[in-house]
Chain A
Amino acid sequence: MTAITATTAPSIPVARCLGRLLVGQSTKFESNRATCEPQWVKWTILGIALTFFVVFVFLPLVAVFVEALRKGTDVYWQSLVEPDALSAIKLTLIAAGISLPLNLVFGVAAAWAIAKFEFRGKQVLTTLIDLPFSVSPVIVGLTYVLVFGANGWFGEWLIEHDIKIIFAVPGIVLATIFVTFPFVARELIPLMQAQGREEEEAAVVLGARGWQTFWYVTLPNIKWGLLYGVILCNARAMGEFGAVSVVSGHIRGMTNTLPLHVEILYNEYNFAAAFAVASLLALLAFVTLVIKTIAESRVKHQLSDNT
Chain B
Amino acid sequence: MALSRSYSVLPGFGLSLGYTLVYLSVIVLIPLSAVFIFTAQLTWAEFWQTVTAPRVVASYKLSFGASLGAAAINGFFGLMLAWVLVRYSFPGKRIVDALVDLPFALPTAVAGISLTAIYAQNGWLGQYIQGALGIKVAFAPLGVLVALVFIGLPFVVRTVQPILEDMETELEEAAASLGARRWQTFVFVVLPVLWPALLTGFALAFARAVGEYGSVIFIAGNIPMVSEITPLMIITKLEQYDYTGATAIASVMLVVSFLLLLVINGLQVWAGKRTGRDR
Which residue of the partner chain, among A60, A178, A271, A282, contacts B27 with CB atoms under 8 Å? A178
Digitize A268-285: 1 where CB-to-B-CB distance is under 8 Å, 0 elsewhere.
Answer: 000100110010011011
Across the interface, do A132 and B28 meet the contact criterion of CB distance under 8 Å?
yes
Residue of B whose beta carbon sits closest to that of A274: B113
B102 within 8 A of A: yes
Quick check: is A53 within 8 A (CB to CB) of the other chain?
yes
A60 vs B113: C-alpha distance when bound (angstroms)? 9
* A112 and B99 within 8 A (CB): no
Bound form: Cα–Cα A202–B270 in Å: 35
A281-B247 in contact (CB<8A): no
CB-defined contacts of B30 to chain A, threshold 8 Å = 147
Min CB–CB distance A14 → chain B (angstroms):
16
Q: Is A129 among interface residues, defined by CB-CB distance under 8 A?
A: yes
Q: Does B133 contact A (CB under 8 A)?
A: no
- Chain B positions within 8 Å of A60 at CB level: 102, 106, 111, 114-115, 118, 150
Nearest neighbor of B100 in chain A, beta-carbon distance: A57
Q: Which residues on the A side are within 8 Å of B149 (C-beta)?
A: 56
**Would you give the shortest CB distance from A187 to chain B, in whole angstroms?**
12
- What are the interface flags for A175-186 relative to B under an 8 Å C-beta threshold, 1 for contact and 0 otherwise? 001100100000
Question: Given the complex, which residues of B lie within 8 Å of A132, measured CB to CB?
Answer: 28
For window 1-25 of B, CB contacts with A under 8 Å fall at 1-6, 8-13, 15-17, 19-21, 23-24
List the B side residues contacting A281 at CB < 8 Å.
106-107, 109-110
Chain A, Cβ-Cβ closest to B86: A27
Most central of B105, B153, B234, B235 by chain A CB within 10 Å: B105
Chain B residues in 8 Å Cβ range of A153: 34
B: contact size bracket: 35 or more
A58 located at the interface, meaning its Cβ lies under 8 Å from any Cβ of chain B in the complex: yes
Collect the chain B residues with CB atoms within 8 Å of residue A27's CB: 86-89
Interface contact B253-A139, CB-CB below 8 Å: yes
Q: Kindly supply a per-residue 1/0 record for chain A positions 105-119, scoring 1 wherever the CB is within 8 Å of any chain B CB and 0 otherwise.
A: 110011011001111
- Alpha-carbon separation in the docked complex, A258 to B111 (Å): 14
For chains A and B in complex, what number of residue pairs have CB atoms within 8 angstroms? 335
Please name all residues of chain B whose beta carbon is closer than 8 Å to the beta carbon of A201 when the two chains form the complex: 8-10
Q: Kindly identify which residue among A37, A52, A134, A204 contacts B77, using a CB–CB cutoff of 8 Å.
A: A52
With A and B bound together, what is the CA distance between A34 and B231 in angstroms?
A: 49
Q: Known contacts being A37-B182, A61-B99, is A106 close to B213, with CB within 8 Å?
A: no
Q: Are B109 and A262 in touch, CB under 8 angstroms? A: yes
Q: Is the CB of A50 within 8 A of B260?
A: no
Enumerate 26 A-B pairs (CB-CB under 8 Å) in ascending A order.
A27-B86, A29-B86, A30-B87, A32-B169, A35-B87, A36-B87, A46-B84, A53-B81, A53-B100, A55-B125, A56-B146, A57-B102, A109-B23, A119-B17, A127-B265, A136-B210, A137-B214, A142-B250, A177-B27, A200-B10, A213-B10, A242-B213, A259-B108, A262-B110, A281-B110, A284-B105
Which 9 residue pairs of A and B lie closest in terms of their CB atoms, listed nearest first?
Answer: A239-B107, A136-B211, A241-B214, A242-B213, A143-B31, A34-B176, A210-B11, A285-B105, A138-B231
- Can you add 18 more A-B contacts, CB < 8 Å, to A36-B87, A143-B32, A259-B108? A22-B92, A45-B83, A57-B102, A60-B102, A60-B106, A61-B102, A109-B16, A120-B4, A135-B257, A136-B212, A138-B232, A139-B234, A205-B9, A239-B105, A266-B218, A274-B113, A278-B110, A285-B106
